[in-house]
Structure 1
Amino acid sequence: MPEQKIPLELTRDLLSTLITEGTVSAETGSVLVFLPTWSIMTVLSKLMEADAVLSKSCKVIMLHSQVPKEAQMEAFSPAPAGLAKVILATNIAESSITIDDVTCVIDSCKVKITFFSETTKLSYSDVVFTGRHNLEQRKGRAGRTRPGLCFRLCTEQRCEALQDEVPPELTRMPLVGAALLVKSLELGDIMTVLFQCPDPPSESAVTHAISELTLVRALDDEQNLTSLGRILARLPLDPHVSLALLMGHWFFGLGDAMATLCAAMSFDEPFRFERSAGYLPWSISQKYQGSHKHSDQFLLGLVHQEYARLVETVGLNSANSFITSEGLHPAIMRQVYDASEQLRSLLQTDALGALGLGGPEPLDEDALGPSSRKRSHTAIRDWGPQEWQWGAVLLGLATALPHVAVHQEKRHLWVDEEARGAIHRSSLNCCKNSFVFPSPLFAFLDRMQEEGWRPARCRQLTNMPPLLALLKPFANSTIRMDAEEGNCVIIADWIPIGPVLPDTAHLLLLLRSRIEDMDIASFLYVQLTLAYFMFFSF
């Protein structure tokens, strides 16, 4: 078996042996299994349910953010009489918690972490081998109150070749948020401050972060924080997502809807997805089938808006019943609700809600208090196929979703001229069979790289009309006419769109400039131009 693959069948057999021989039981102690992702934990759980011995002799508990807190707390309780307690956990159980009755650890030796590619400018998640120090910490979870055992699911040679630690976040993560924090706290030069960290990032990564902040007008040419930059620093979102929120609020009066969509983009999807269930496994997808506009963000907005409506008009019990009936994750639903309320509160303050961006004066701290304006519970649900609001939200999504891909066939995509990707199985746009989308272009949030899955899978996609993909405000690429093809425009430096008249391309460049200036005084111009492009395509 390739070492990149976790031997889940072997893990199941090992658990069966431990329980059969009495090494793990209600009396002798529990077993803690370290796995890198929720999906892998779910697959192992299903294998255990299908096993004749394990299905009758153990109680499985999962420690993960997608599991309700009450269910996770069962890990600290004694095992039920006659059953062995098997705890499946990610690296959260390495040091953050202690379970006294654990006497056996099964370690996959893997961890899921996020990387940023300086070559492709893409953030992606990957499952990799963890560090030696992490292995020792995991081993220490067993035998804290009595003798224990530890099984590592890798070869001795691989274990000896591991690095001491997983690469620190500053050396592998996007630095836009850190750079913005440095400037908002007035700590000094971004490069100087970040190089003073114990594990400093590369110079090219810091340069890229500064370029991104300059691109979104958060920094001026001298790297001073702008008025818009001060606002972006106040919003607990990625700067591009924050811009989408502000555009929807300032230009189109869609603050409620955009707060819900932007909050949802900042968390995992709440849908329970099982590998064995196939595509579109949750019931709610059928309820809104045909109305999701080939957009994962639109479906997320519908789901979270319905939850908010139930919470605020009927009560929490009804909202929880909705979660149960639709197979949603309670913790994620509540996190998105709280985050959207926070964003709505910020949008309704004088500091963010009606601020002109021309002045250099700082934000008024007293203007950041809570607001009492009621949420619109039908903002997303009531949009029809041709409603102008959806065009405005598409403009926001074109800003918020950093990457563009070209659909090839079924679930296959091109993410650049040479690299292929795949639509994640949890997406509404994932098709088993051939399907012709309204547009061949997709904007997506990020991509995941996990064992056994090549190429990378793209998450949270929205089918993007060519003109809006061409417009794409604050994009780190230029719009240029293809000299060889004539009336053809190149976007993202590699995707041809056409035919497009030079006058149309010029108008789009002008519109992009107006939007990127966040010129509220010209919002009517933006609205009318957007309406024109929503009704007239190539």
Structure 2
Amino acid sequence: MKDRPPSSCCAVYIPPHHRFRSVVFSPNSSNSSKNGADFPTSAASVIHSKLLDRQNIPVLNAKGTAAPPPLSYLQHDEKQQQRQRTYNSNNGNKNSNNQSSQYNSAYCHGISKNGSDRQMDLSLQSGTFGEANVDEWKRKLVILLHDDGKQELVSREKKDRRYFEQIAALASRMGLYSHLYSKVAVFSKAPLPNYRFDLDDKRPQREVNLNFGLLKRVDAHLGEYLSKKSRTKESFSDNCFSKSSSNSSIVTDEGLFEQPEPMASNTAIMEKILWRRSLQLHAQQQAWQESLEGRGILEFRQSLPAYKEKDAILTAILQNQGFTHPVRIHFLENILEMMGYRLTPYNQIDDYGQERMWKMSKQAPRKRKSQIASAVEDALRAADFKDFSPQTWESLSCWNPDCIGFNLIEYLLSYICENERPGAVLVFVTGWDDISSLKDKLQSHPILGDPNRVSLLTCHGFLASSEQKLIFEEPKDGVRKIVLTTNIAETSITINDVVFVLDCGKAKETSYDALNNTPCLLPSWISKVSAQQRRGRAGRVEPGECYHLYPRCVYDAFAEYQLPEILRTPLQSLCLQIKSLKLESISEFLSRALQSPELLAVQNAVEYLKIIGALDESENLTILGRYLTMLPMEPKLGKMLILGAILNCLDPVLTVVAGLSVRDPFLTPLDKKDLAETAKLQFSRDYSDHLALVRAYEGWKEAEKDLAGYDYCWKNFLSAQSMKAIDSLRVEFLSLLKGTGLIDGNATSCNTWSYDQHLIRAIICYGLYPGICSVVPHVQHNEKSFSLKTMEDGPVLLYSNSVNARESRIPYPWLVFNEKIKVNSIFLRDSTAVSDSVLLLFGGSISRGNVDGHLKMLGGYLEFFMQPAIAEKFQSLRREFDELIQNKLLNPQMVLHFHHELISAVRLLVSEDQCDGRFVFGRQDLKPSTMPVMPPQPTLVSRTESGPGGDNSKSQLQTLLTRAGYAAPTYKTKQLKNNQFRATVEFNGMQIMGQPWNNKKSAEKDAAAEALKWLIGGTKTGHDYFNHMSMLLKKSKRDH
């Protein structure tokens, strides 16, 4: 569904949370023509004049330099002009003949340069997508290309979606990008991501509902706090918020929070400064060597025994660099020729079992080639296998690069066991799925599955250390050791008795998709250096053999080296470090790297740091950002740690941060998976992976007091090594926090609220935001389930080892997650469920919507609807809470005892929010200038047992609109997949959607009730109020 032009894009992509300046075609628009929306005449005239005046269009490429335009649009084509004149004449558009012919003439000459425009037109005219539509789309796309004020073209026409492939091919030839998002077709100058929330009619819209008694108690705490604050404002400011009164090291450290001074722009001046500094350092070194202290150190070094023999030692090291024994190399063509094995399209499909049918289906032939196959397509096409037998040539012609080759590996291993000399075998595959499935297959083999002849072992980072030790032990006499491993065995470990290596040529390596802002863990071809490393594993102690399960031509097409990490990972921590060193602009500094990262990757990192509050809009460090630079961890973990220290909830937060900084302590052995999952369930009771980790660590700590820590880990399938690492990191992080001045040595005061799990959940949200996804419940065939959606990816899934992945229902509307990664789909790791109140108080910045009671987050992706009084309460509480955190960071010695009422209000709200709201979709908001909306009051419509909107909701809505002089509302009802119905009510050009119901009548009542609730903005009852609302609507109509 997504098309990219053959050339690289010449425009910079705007992140999805920023609205594009778009040309939108809507079938319901009053300005749209039958082929889409026409452009204003004045705009078309301006663009037409630009086409005549500009001979060359300077376009900036990725490096910011001028690049030639993708096509030339200024040459004339008489045939196309005549065709356009005929079309315009038939459609009554005689006045626009010359203008349209200029557009199409310019386009067609550009197409003719790269191919036949006649063939392109014929291909676009398939079906009913006629010549008139082709010419119309040529005109639209040419206008888009030459309008500097427009970034993209958006069409909601069903006809354009039906023939999207043809239009996308046309756009691609013009150097544009295209993508079909559900019911919206987009054509853009810049690459398009896989998901756009601004084009998603079902993005999360949350109706928030809070108990009146809870609001009253929160209001009492907040009112008391504000009253006390106003009475003591002046003295409080003098005594507690003055920087000069603080004894903290972070405030008195001279120059720590100063802004970076601008560097000298003249290169010659900078070189002169550096040269002088070098001379000064050299003089200081000589002075030290001649000093009494320096001479003493030098004499002591010369008296060491190794100093006298250092030349001999260095010479011996130089002459004895070590070596590997010779290794015979066999590529796929050699293997097939030597063993007579034959490949077919069917015996290459790897069997992953019923649980992973999706992985087997990916190997089936398909129209679009995968990334793996596309990378070596040219090499295979140019390869010459004439020196091999026809059978080998036939096998190579149907070789599937997407497959690992389980059947071939099984054949090779049985051949080695029966015919080759003793020695261990090392088999390289891509990941844990491959290891586990291949092991299951080999265990069913009569030879390879016989434990008296073969010892089948696995090597993966998730295995317990006790299991990993088995791969280094020598097997019994007559038993051949076979180790299934990932690329961890390339360099990290060495198995001495390995003689044979089987290399699939692929590995799962972390990469970063900057366009979709998503880390990826996808199979890809290894580099030549990695292939040599794998080959070298076979020649450590004796001559060995390596079987590469891919042709030599594919090996020749490999990259020489792996991509550097700066090109494969997100850059948030690096960008924060650059700002802490008071260097220049982040993008300018990184542009001078040996291999500079993609500009969009840098923009994503900077935008993330702005969202979490580490950078301001000018990319300068904020007070929070300066603290984060002092903590050697990811910014989100540092932010979590800082708030845990401020709110005196430190101990559990230390455990969470340390646990997320090391390898997952929960182990999943291949042969004891069910037992491991059962053991983890005892720690998971609150829909949180992070709280499960806290409980597991606390249990281990108690066991350690009785010297039973190892037994505790063994029984609960925990990694003792990871637990010790967590314990060590907790001590280190605590020391770092003391250095910032945020905490003192009193452990009791730092853990006043450590028992409050709701507050811990809120602090986790504060750190992991904007890693947020919605949890939308579903009921299908009487079975409960839920779906997840994020801002940048749309639908996502949970990793199978998450405690939330086993739940059929999560009673919270949101999940915050530590990490997302794309494998076959996008998966979320380490998640915690949170309520609406937690997200609104501890998430990102909040902005007002178009009407009272409407709040937005993440640039409008998250929308919240509530009574205006509740919205005002959230905003007031959030404003005071943010001010408290800011003041505490400015003055770490500030005592929070004076803010007890505010913290009590926050704790009360996050602990007693019952998540009584609901998700709605397609809710439209009317701007105040269009129709006055009354302040929210109690509801006009009572939801009785007779229906979702009461018996009279439809009649009330019709009466209200009729009195105001509007037409009667109309209803559209759609049957959903789960045999339910959803109705949409339309009036005055507006559409309001109701919730799904079991019959059409109830669905229409619910839609009418939603419309009434939206029109009134509240829930006030009474005949007088109903009449008053009708008068307001009448007045609104007269005004417009």
Cα–Cα, structure 1 residues 465 and 227, in superposed 2: closer, same or farther, change >3 Å?
closer
**Aligned residues of 2:650 and 2:751 also touching (Cα < 8 A):** no
**Aligned residues of 2:676 and 2:716 also touching (Cα < 8 A):** no
**Aligned residues of 2:515 and 2:600 also touching (Cα < 8 A):** no
Cα–Cα, structure 1 residues 157 and 127, in superposed 2: closer, same or farther, change >3 Å?
same
Counterpart of 1:407, as a letter, is V
Cα–Cα, structure 1 residues 188 and 441, in superposed 2: closer, same or farther, change >3 Å?
same
Q: Say which of 825, 841, 846 aligns to 1:479.
A: 846
Q: Map 1:429-444; keep pairs closer than 5 Å.
A: 429-431=804-806, 435-444=808-817
**Aligned residues of 1:75 and 1:87 also touching (Cα < 8 A):** yes
Unpaired runs of 5+ residues, structure 2, are 1-348, 350-362, 364-400, 779-784, 918-1040
Paired position in structure 1 for 2:424: 30
**Cα deviation code 1:180-208 (max 9, x no counterpart):** 33344556554444333322212332343
Cα–Cα, structure 1 residues 436 and 81, in superposed 2: closer, same or farther, change >3 Å?
same
Is 1:177 equivalent to 2:573 in the alignment? Answer: yes
Q: Say which of 655, 672, 696 aligns to 1:260.
A: 655
Q: Say which of 829, 852, 855 aligns to 1:489.
A: 855
Paired position in structure 2 for 1:335: 725
**Aligned residues of 1:183 and 1:224 also touching (Cα < 8 A):** yes
441-450 vs 181-190, which moves further? 181-190
Q: Map 1:134-153; keep pairs closer than 5 Å.
A: 134-153=530-549
Report the TM-score when normalising by structure 1: 0.80
**Aligned residues of 1:411 and 1:423 also touching (Cα < 8 A):** no
How far off its partner does 1:405 sit? 1.4
**Aligned residues of 1:231 and 1:352 also touching (Cα < 8 A):** no
2:538 is paired with a residue of what secondary structure? Answer: coil
2:539 is paired with a residue of what secondary structure? Answer: coil
371-380 vs 31-40, which moves further? 371-380
Aligned pairs, number: 496
Cα–Cα, structure 1 residues 187 and 34, in superposed 2: closer, same or farther, change >3 Å?
farther
Counterpart of 2:715, as a letter, is S
d(CA) in 1 for partners of 2:838, 2:699: 28
d(CA) in 2 for partners of 1:416, 1:353: 34
Paired position in structure 2 for 1:298: 691
39-48 vs 193-202, which moves further? 39-48
Q: Say which of 861, 872, 893 aligns to 1:503.
A: 872
Paired position in structure 2 for 1:199: 595
Q: Map 1:326-405; keep pairs closer than 5 Å.
A: 326-347=716-737, 349-354=738-743, 383=755, 389-401=756-768, 402-405=770-773
Paired position in structure 1 for 2:419: 21
**Aligned residues of 1:489 and 1:496 also touching (Cα < 8 A):** yes
d(CA) in 2 for partners of 1:209, 1:516: 24
**Aligned residues of 1:279 and 1:430 also touching (Cα < 8 A):** no
Counterpart of 2:565, as a letter, is E
Cα–Cα, structure 1 residues 43 and 297, in superposed 2: closer, same or farther, change >3 Å?
farther
**Aligned residues of 1:280 and 1:427 also touching (Cα < 8 A):** no
d(CA) in 2 for partners of 1:87, 1:36: 14
d(CA) in 1 for partners of 2:753, 2:477: 51
Counterpart of 1:399, as a letter, is Y
Cα–Cα, structure 1 residues 438 and 280, in superposed 2: closer, same or farther, change >3 Å?
farther
Counterpart of 2:412, as a letter, is L
Paired position in structure 2 for 1:243: 639
How far off its partner does 1:117 sit? 3.4
Q: Say which of 680, 694, 702 aligns to 1:285.
A: 680
Cα–Cα, structure 1 residues 226 and 48, in superposed 2: closer, same or farther, change >3 Å?
same
Paired position in structure 1 for 2:826: 456
- Structure label with greater radius of gyration: 2
Q: Say which of 261, 265, 269 aligns to 2:664.
A: 269
d(CA) in 2 for partners of 1:275, 1:100: 25
Paired position in structure 2 for 1:368: none
Paired position in structure 2 for 1:445: 818
How far off its partner does 1:303 sit? 0.7
Q: Map 1:2-81; keep pairs closer than 5 Å.
A: 2=363, 3-8=401-406, 10-23=408-421, 28-55=422-449, 56=451, 57-69=453-465, 72-81=468-477
**Aligned residues of 2:427 and 2:502 also touching (Cα < 8 A):** yes
d(CA) in 2 for partners of 1:377, 1:39: 42
How far off its partner does 1:31 sit? 1.4
Paired position in structure 2 for 1:413: 788
**Aligned residues of 2:775 and 2:788 also touching (Cα < 8 A):** yes
CA RMSD of superposed structures (Å): 3.5
Cα–Cα, structure 1 residues 266 and 35, in superposed 2: closer, same or farther, change >3 Å?
farther
Higher share in helix = 2
d(CA) in 2 for partners of 1:81, 1:114: 40
1:294 is paired with a residue of what secondary structure? Answer: coil
**Cα deviation code 1:342-361 (max 9, x no counterpart):** 223333x2534438xxxxxx
Counterpart of 1:93, as a letter, is A
Unpaired runs of 5+ residues, structure 1, are 356-370, 384-388
Paired position in structure 2 for 1:86: 482
Paired position in structure 1 for 2:907: 531
Cα–Cα, structure 1 residues 470 and 236, in superposed 2: closer, same or farther, change >3 Å?
same
How far off its partner does 1:242 sit? 1.0
**Aligned residues of 1:109 and 1:129 also touching (Cα < 8 A):** yes
d(CA) in 1 for partners of 2:751, 2:432: 31
